[in-house]
Structure 1
Amino acid sequence: MEPRAVGVSKQDIREQIWGYMESQNLADFPRPVHHRIPNFKGSYLACQNIKDLDVFARTQEVKVDPDKPLEGVRLLVLQVIPLP
């Protein structure tokens, strides 16, 4: 990936990241990753790291968006935080 130039738009950066993820085979289902929040290889493992955060241990309520890369967080929250 090339360094970001001054004046580059957010959309330009998204296109660059999406292209990089596809070309380096970093993306996971669903594909293609363009025009979405991309799922990536290792996302489930990355989600598991949330349980090591002090703020997660103290929380009583968690909002998790329905994006595929956050599926691991949704499952972890359901296992760890009791429903009211």
Structure 2
Amino acid sequence: MSTGAEGKLFDDLEELGYLRRVSGPADCRAKLIVFTDRGGEALVVGYAAIDEVERRLAALLGKGGLADLHVTLSRVITDF
């Protein structure tokens, strides 16, 4: 992801109320990204959804099949 695209993503998430930017403790020019309460709640919901998908995939593929899927998807992400 380019720096410009990252900045746009942060702008959008800030506008939607999921995060905020605060000045860094050592350098006021630096900005830290901090999740708001709404952003924290969205993370909890997102992680729960991921856990449910992985649980269902493990039931369908078995633990070995799920591990193979993880390896394959990691290759796709890395090499594509």
Q: TM-score, normalised by structure 2?
A: 0.31
More strand by share: 2
More helix by share: 2
Which of these two proteins has the greater Rg computed from alpha carbons? 2
Q: TM-score, normalised by structure 1?
A: 0.31
